[in-house]
Amino acid sequence: DGGITQSPKYLFRKEGQNVTLSCEQNLNHDAMYWYRQDPGQGLRLIYYSQIVNDFQKGDIAEGYSVSREKKESFPLTVTSAQKNPTAFYLCASSMISGGIYNEQFFGPGTRLTVL
Amino acid sequence: KNQVEQSPQSLIILEGKNCTLQCNYTVSPFSNLRWYKQDTGRGPVSLTIMTFSENTKSNGRYTATLDADTKQSSLHITASQLSDSASYICVVSALAGKSTFGDGTTLTVKP
């Protein structure tokens, strides 16, 4: 089946620890994205990547880091510098044609809770 | 500043009734507008996508409209079902590629 997978579905972390969220896609999409969603709020863009080995900060990148070593993988690390990391994290991917980003397809999400 | 505003913030309707959700945007230059459905604890799933030249698009009981002149869109749900209970998110993309997300409308369908 084609799609986007995120793991784990639930993640618990102690304060001061870094944690990495996995995102994999087999849709052959060029662009990948990470969003954060808090209760009752819209999605906020953390980082995005248009091509392997390149990525850009979104609106709330502080305290997060990413890598894009392979086209199909875009892991997100939540560092101890992120002051309020408890949230629902969504990964998405899309094609880019003619310089235009197409429809984004979302993974099932990872719920991170800091204890 | 690009913005997407959705209304109402939440809505409760009885099963079988129709409802309409609104989306107003100031994104420019406009590329496309998408409506997503997000079940609790799940990732959003696309319902419709419309470009500048399209003013209506249907997906089963979901019908989206777009007025590019007034920069407004609506999502109409016909004969609601309990499974329609979800958050509905309007997303508007600019020609440069950046997408702006609305905060969503939470719909609850009661039996």
Q: Is the CB of B102 inside 8 Å of chain A's CB atoms?
A: yes
CA distance B19 to A19: 42
Strand residue runs (E) in chain A: 4-7, 10-13, 19-25, 31-37, 43-51, 54-57, 64-66, 76-78, 87-94, 96-97, 100-101, 105-106, 110-114
Q: Please write the tens of the pLDDT for every residue from B38-97.
A: 999 999 999 999 988 889 999 999 999 999 999 999 999 999 999 999 999 999 988 767
Q: Please write the tens of the pLDDT for every residue from A29-70.
A: 999 999 999 987 889 999 999 999 999 999 999 999 999 999
| Residue B97: DSSP 8-state | S
pLDDT of residue A98: 58
CA distance B50 to B39: 22
- For residue B42, give the chain A residue with the closest CA: A108
Flag if A103 and B89 touch (Cβ within 8 Å): no
Distance in Å, alpha carbon of B11 to nearest chain A alpha carbon: 13
